[in-house]
């Protein structure tokens, strides 16, 4: 028998929704699994799994998800539990909050980024470097 946690994990990892290339969606999407977007979404995406934006995909507004993979374009605020991966054709304009970000060569990010802490006590692991220290390296 599968435990409830195993069933929930399987559901989150499952790609159950695809927005096709010729599709435009306006409004809020709430997905209890993962989604791939090859069309346009003008609104908010709330996803418990992963959001993949294909090369021709476009999202404008906000995204909250476990992971975000961008090969297309996102304009807005993203709040991601784990990782943002911007591929070489990907573009992100806005505010990003995540634990990890990967930007491939020629990938584009413009905006603010905030790293979520991995510390169990909730304290941020931030190191400040003065301009003088940076120039000494």
Share of the chain above pLDDT 70, in %: 78
Bridge partners of 78, per DSSP, are 63, 96
State CA 108 to chain mean position distance: 14
Q: Counting beta carbons within 10 angstroms of the beta carbon of residue 17, is it exposed (0 to 12), middle (13 to 18) or buried (19 or more)? A: middle
pTM of the entire predicted model: 0.81
Which pLDDT band, with edges at 50, 70 and 90, does 30 fall under?
A: very high
Domain count of the fold of the chain: 1
The predicted pLDDT at position 127 comes to 47
Q: What's the mean pLDDT in 2-10? A: 59
Distance CA 30, CA 47 (A): 6
Is the per-residue pLDDT at 25 higher than 80?
yes
Is the per-residue pLDDT at 13 higher than 60?
yes
CA torsion sign for 11, 14, 16, 20 is positive
Model confidence pLDDT, tens digit, residues 80-129: 999 999 999 999 999 999 999 999 999 999 999 999 986 665 555 554 45
Note down the domain range covering 61: 4-136
For residue 44, give Cα distances in angstroms to 27, 77, 102: 6, 10, 23
Q: What's the mean pLDDT in 45-63? A: 98
Mean pLDDT of the chain: 87
């Amino acid at each position: 028998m599968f435990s409830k946690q195993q069933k929930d994990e399987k559901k989150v990892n499952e790609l159950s929704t695809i927005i096709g290339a010729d599709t435009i969606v306006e409004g809020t999407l709430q997905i209890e699994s993962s989604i791939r977007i090859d069309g346009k979404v003008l609104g908010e995406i709330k996803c418990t799994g992963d959001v993949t934006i294909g090369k021709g995909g476009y999202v404008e507004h906000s995204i909250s998800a476990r992971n975000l993979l961008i090969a297309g374009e996102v304009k807005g605020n993203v709040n991601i539990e784990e990782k943002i991966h911007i591929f070489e054709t990907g573009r992100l304009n806005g505010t990003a909050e995540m634990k990890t970000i990967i930007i491939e060569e020629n990938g584009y990010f413009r905006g603010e980024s905030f790293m979520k802490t991995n510390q169990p006590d909730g304290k941020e692991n931030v190191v400040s470097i003065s301009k003088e220290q940076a120039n000494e390296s």
